[in-house]
């Protein structure tokens, strides 16, 4: 009748040593890989070395983005020369970034012809590589005095702007 054929059912693992390696690769190795990944992810979110939780460090990290500065409106205004030395001399003394040097009559001649209002506008709003000076450490009137100082030291003859009288 029919032939009954019985074969031994065998798998790829034939020895106990192969079984041990299969268990190691299948279960133990993935566990260590997962533990390593968890450690890597959690250690990346730790604060950088050197930072602390001292009150000063915390305050520095959570400080507000903007600040409000209240100035004394009745303070004595700076002279044009003082403002020039504090704000303008870095570029206008050396000619850095194409700034006309104070005292160079040739470089200032065309600018002087444009008039005080044009020069003041350029100083307050910025021009070329020069950043805007309006709203900085000095009032607009003080910046105007610095413009007059530079122009007059470069061959111009502008009158220094005066502080407007307070309404009575």
pLDDT in tens, 54-74: 888 888 888 887 777 776 767
CA angle 151, 153, 157 (to 5 degrees): 55
pLDDT per 10-residue tile (average), the chain, 168 residues: 65 87 87 90 67 80 78 76 83 82 83 85 82 75 86 82 68
Residue 119: per-residue pLDDT: 84
Residue 31: per-residue pLDDT: 92
Residue 121, in any domain of the structure:
yes
Alpha-carbon gap, residue 168 to 161, rounded angstroms: 21
CATH at 130: 1.10.760.10
**Full-model pTM:** 0.55
Residue 60, in any domain of the structure:
no
Q: Which helix (H) or strand (E) holds 142?
A: helix 140-153
Residue 119, in any domain of the structure:
yes
Residue 167, in any domain of the structure:
no
pLDDT in tens, 37-58: 988 888 866 656 556 778 888 8
Residue 27, in any domain of the structure:
no
Q: Which domain holds residue 146?
A: 80-153
Alpha-carbon gap, residue 161 to 44, rounded angstroms: 59
Closest CA to 145 of 162, 131, 164: 162
Residue 34: per-residue pLDDT: 94
Residue 109, in any domain of the structure:
yes
The number of folded domains in the chain is 1
- First and final C-alpha spacing in the chain: 130
Residue 106, in any domain of the structure:
yes
Residue 87, in any domain of the structure:
yes
């Amino acid at each position: 009748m029919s032939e009954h054929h019985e074969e031994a059912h065998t798998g790829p693992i034939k020895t106990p040593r192969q079984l041990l390696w299969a268990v190691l690769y299948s279960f133990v190795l993935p566990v260590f890989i997962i533990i390593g990944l968890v450690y890597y992810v959690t250690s990346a979110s730790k604060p950088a070395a050197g930072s602390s939780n001292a009150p000063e460090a915390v305050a520095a990290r959570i400080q507000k983005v903007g600040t409000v500065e209240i100035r004394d409106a009745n303070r004595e205004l700076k002279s044009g020369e003082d403002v020039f030395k504090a704000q303008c001399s870095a570029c206008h003394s050396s000619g850095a970034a194409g700034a006309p040097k104070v005292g160079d009559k040739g470089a200032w001649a065309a600018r002087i012809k444009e008039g005080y209002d044009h020069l003041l506008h350029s100083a307050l709003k910025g021009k070329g590589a020069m950043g805007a000076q309006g709203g900085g450490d000095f009032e607009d009137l003080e910046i105007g005095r610095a413009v007059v100082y530079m122009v007059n030291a470069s061959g111009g003859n502008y009158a220094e702007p005066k502080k407007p009288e307070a309404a009575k």
